[in-house]
Amino acid sequence: MSTPFATPLTLPGICWPLQASTGHLAVTTSHITGHFRAGSGLDAIILCELLPAGKFRNGAARHWCRTHQCYWGTQADLADWQATRQMRCRQHASPMGYVLYPELFDPMQFHATTLRLGPDGLVQLRARADEGGALFSRDLPALAIDCRALPGVFPSDMVQLNVTPPAAHAYAAALQVGTPLDCSDCARCGHPHLDLGSFALAPHRRHSCGQCGHDASHSATPIVSSPLWRLRLRITQCD
């Protein structure tokens, strides 16, 4: 692993926290910045991406780390900033899953597409260019879907939808047990919510945004939110 003093690299890639209750699939850039041991793995150290996110209940200003899916601004965070002069969240040194140079899939180039989570944890992509045509098949640790090919489905500033193992697992688990699925959008930034972990086990109305950190958007009914559900409604499924 690169040392903390090595220069971080900015490369085309997908990354995800190994433990989180929200996720950030709908990205506005195809690049990630951090320290990487290989082309993919579970040991990347990714730089924080912090942005203002309102205030804590005590009135103190808070920021949202889009990378690690947690808030910054506690007394411990401020003490760390005073000591290091680095604004970084509490998870800044936590290993993350990642794939560099991921395959970018354009669903509009195919007649039908299916995404599944395989028993080995890989995302299974199956697509046909035309009805009865040859099957395009890939098993991948993560997949980027070109959102520019899906106008009106997601916010216009999105460049791709990153299908990560935690997102695929949460979605597959919800489908299997019949949990009410839908896709709720953030009332502040308009990006789709993604529920992971315990948040993906029980339907709820209040949702937190992995894009901007807003935590007071409400769906009309209790649901588990996933942008994969909206994607599924817009593409024809392979047999």
pLDDT, tens digit (0-9, with 9 covering 90-100), for 79-120: 999 999 999 999 999 999 999 999 999 988 888 898 888 889
Q: How large is the average pLDDT for residues 209-233? A: 94
Helix (H) / strand (E) containing 135: strand 135-140
Confidence check: pLDDT of 180 > 60: yes
pLDDT of residue 2: 45
DSSP string, 70-90: EEE-SHHHHHHHHHHS----T
Q: Report the range of poorest mean pLDDT among 5-14, 103-112, 125-134, 185-194.
A: 125-134
pLDDT of residue 117: 87
Specify whether the CB–CB gap between 11 and 31 falls below 8 A: yes
Residue 131 pLDDT class (50, 70, 90 cuts): confident
Residue 135 pLDDT class (50, 70, 90 cuts): confident
Domain ranges of the chain: 9-99, 100-234
Residue 197 pLDDT class (50, 70, 90 cuts): confident
64 Cβ partners below 8 Å, 6+ apart? Answer: 50, 51, 52, 53, 70, 71, 72, 212, 213
pLDDT of residue 121: 87
Residue 5 pLDDT class (50, 70, 90 cuts): low
pLDDT of residue 236: 65
pLDDT of residue 147: 87
pLDDT of residue 141: 93
